[in-house]
C-alpha cells in the first residue's frame, strides 16, 4: 500500500509570510496527526484528527497555525504569519484508528523561515 | 500529560556489538510503545512496537522489553551493522486519547 504523502518537501519563506503544507494519509487510516520536529528533538504533536474532527489541538499555536481535514482524508496545515522559531520539519502521520495501532509517518516538509 | 525520557542521547558501538536504548514514561494508562528509526532527511520509520500486555517482543536482531511497574521500556539491537546508524526515538501512546509522546532521540553510530 502507498505510504503517507506530503508536499512540498522543502519550503523557504521570510518571516511574516504564510505557508501551507499538504498531507495524504494511508488509505483507510482514520486518524491523522501533524507533528513539529525541531532539529535535534523528537516530534511534538500539533494536532490530531479522527476522520474530519479534531481530537486534540492543545499544543497548536492557534494564533498563527491552523489545520483542516475537510473530507476526512487529506489535510492541510497552515502557518500565518510565520516566525523564525517555526523553522522545523513538519511531519504528518496516520493510524488506522484508535487503540494501539501502528503509526506511519510521511517524509516531512522542511520549513526554513528567514 | 505524558512525559517520555530517553537515554542516552548519543551512543557509539563497534560493529557486531549490542546497543541498548532506554526510555521511561509517566502515564500509567499509556498502552502502546513504538520505536522509530529516523535517517537523515526522512520521516521516522516504525521498527518495532510493544503493547502494554506484553513484556518482551523480538524481531530478528531487534528486541523491546517493557516493565509496566517501573514504567520503562528498552530497545535492544544485537549484532549491530553500519546501516543501523541513525537516530532512534521511543514513544508512548496514551489511552484513551491515542496521542503519541516522543522521547528526545538517541543518535546511534556503528563503527565499522
Q: List, in order, residues 6 or more apart from A110 with CB less than 8 Å away.
A: A9, A10, A11, A88, A89
Q: pLDDT (tens digit, 9 = 90+) per residue, A55-68?
A: 999 999 999 999 99
Interchain contact A56–B (C-beta under 8 A): yes
Q: How far is A49 from chain B (nearest CA, A)?
A: 10
Q: What is the pLDDT of residue A99?
A: 65
Q: A31–B98: do the CB atoms touch at under 8 Å?
A: yes
What pLDDT does residue B95 have? 84
Write the pLDDT tens digit of every residue in B52-76.
888 999 999 999 999 999 999 999 9
User: Does position B96 have pLDDT exceeding 70, yes or no?
Assistant: yes
Is the Cβ of A90 closer than 8 Å to some Cβ of chain B?
A: no
pLDDT of residue A96: 87
pLDDT tier for residue A98 given thresholds of 50, 70 and 90:
low
Residue A84 phi/psi, 5° resolution? -55, -40
In the predicted model, what is the mean pLDDT of chain A? Answer: 94
* Cβ–Cβ contact A51 with B under 8 A: no
Mutation for B interface: A43, A88, A112, most B CBs within 10 A: A43
Q: Which residue of chain B comes nearest to A106, CA vs CA?
A: B43
Contact B100 A45 (CB under 8 A): yes
Distance of alpha carbon A99 from the chain centroid:
21
Contacts of B56 (CB under 8 A, 6+ apart): B50, B63, B64, B65, B66
At A1 the pLDDT is 64
Q: Are A92 and A75 in contact (CB under 8 A)?
A: yes
CB atoms B98 and A102 under 8 Å: no
Backbone angles phi, psi at A77, to 5 degrees: -120, 130
Q: Is the pLDDT of residue A36 over 80?
A: yes
Q: How does pLDDT run across B11-47, given as a tens digit for each residue? A: 999 999 999 999 999 999 999 999 999 999 899 999 9
| Sign of the torsion formed by the C-alpha atoms of B29, B55, A41 and B40 | negative
A53 in B contact zone (CB under 8 Å): no
In the block, residue with C-alpha cell 486518524: A31
Amino acid at each position: 500500500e502507498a505510504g503517507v504523502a506530503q508536499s512540498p518537501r522543502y519550503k523557504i519563506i521570510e518571516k511574516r509570510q504564510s505557508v501551507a503544507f499538504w498531507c495524504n494519509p494511508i488509505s483507510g487510516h482514520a486518524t491523522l496527526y501533524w507533528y513539529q520536529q525541531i532539529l535535534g528533538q523528537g516530534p511534538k504533536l500539533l494536532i490530531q484528527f479522527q476522520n474530519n474532527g479534531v481530537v486534540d489541538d492543545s499544543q497548536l499555536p492557534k494564533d498563527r497555525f491552523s489545520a483542516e481535514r475537510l473530507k476526512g482524508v487529506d489535510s492541510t496545515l497552515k502557518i500565518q504569519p510565520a516566525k523564525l522559531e517555526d523553522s522545523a520539519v513538519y511531519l504528518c502521520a496516520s493510524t488506522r484508528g484508535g487503540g494501539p495501532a501502528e503509526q506511519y509517518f510521511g517524509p516531512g516538509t522542511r520549513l526554513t523561515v528567514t | 500529560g505524558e512525559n517520555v525520557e530517553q537515554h542516552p542521547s548519543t551512543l557509539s558501538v563497534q560493529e557486531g556489538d549490542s546497543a541498548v536504548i532506554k526510555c521511561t514514561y509517566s502515564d500509567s494508562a499509556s498502552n502502546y510503545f513504538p520505536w522509530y528509526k529516523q535517517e537523515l532527511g526522512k520521516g521516522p520509520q516504525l521498527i518495532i512496537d510493544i503493547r502494554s500486555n506484553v513484556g518482551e517482543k523480538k524481531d530478528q536482531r531487534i528486541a523491546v522489553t517493557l516493565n509496566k511497574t517501573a514504567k520503562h521500556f528498552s530497545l535492544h539491537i544485537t549484532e549491530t551493522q553500519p546501516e543501523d546508524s541513525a537516530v532512534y526515538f521511543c514513544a508512548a501512546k496514551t489511552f484513551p486519547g491515542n496521542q503519541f509522546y516522543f522521547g528526545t532521540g538517541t543518535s546511534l553510530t556503528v563503527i565499522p
